[in-house]
Structure 1
Amino acid sequence: MSLQLNDQTRYERGLAKLAEVDGKAGEEVVAPLGDLGRYIIEFAFGDIYNREGLSLREREIATVAMLTVLGRETQLKVHIGAALNVGLSAKEVEETIIQTVPYAGFPTAINAMNVLKEVVKERV
Structure 2
Amino acid sequence: MVRLSQITGRSGEEVMAALGEVAPDFARYIFEFGYGDVYSRPGLDLRTRMLATVAGLVALGHAERELTVHIGSALNVGATREEVVEVIMQMALYAGFPAALDALLIAKKVFAARDAAPPAAPPPAAPPAP
Range of TM-score over shorter length: 0.7 to 0.9
1:97 to 88, 93, 104: 88
Unaligned segments of structure 2, at least 5 residues: 116-130
Amino acid at match of 1:36: F
Distance in 2, matches of 1:106 and 1:26, equals 34
Q: Which has the higher contact order (CA 8 A, sep 6+)?
A: 2
Q: Alignment partner of 1:50: what SS?
A: coil
Are the structure 2 counterparts of residues 27 and 118 from structure 1 closer, same or farther at C-alpha, using a change threshold of 3 Å? farther
Whether the aligned pair in 2 keeps the contact of 1:26 and 1:78 (CA below 8 Å) is: no
| Identical-pair percentage | 51
The count of corresponding residues between Structure 1 and Structure 2 is: 110
TM-score (norm 2): 0.80
TM-score (norm 1): 0.83
Query: 1:13-92, aligned counterparts within 5 Å?
Result: 15-24=1-10, 28-33=14-19, 34-71=24-61, 72-92=63-83
Amino acid at match of 1:61: L
More helix as a share of residues: 1
Q: What RMSD over aligned residues (CA atoms) do the two structures have, in Å?
A: 1.4
Cross-structure match for 2:101? 110
Runs of 4+ in 1 over 3 A off after TM superposition: 25-31
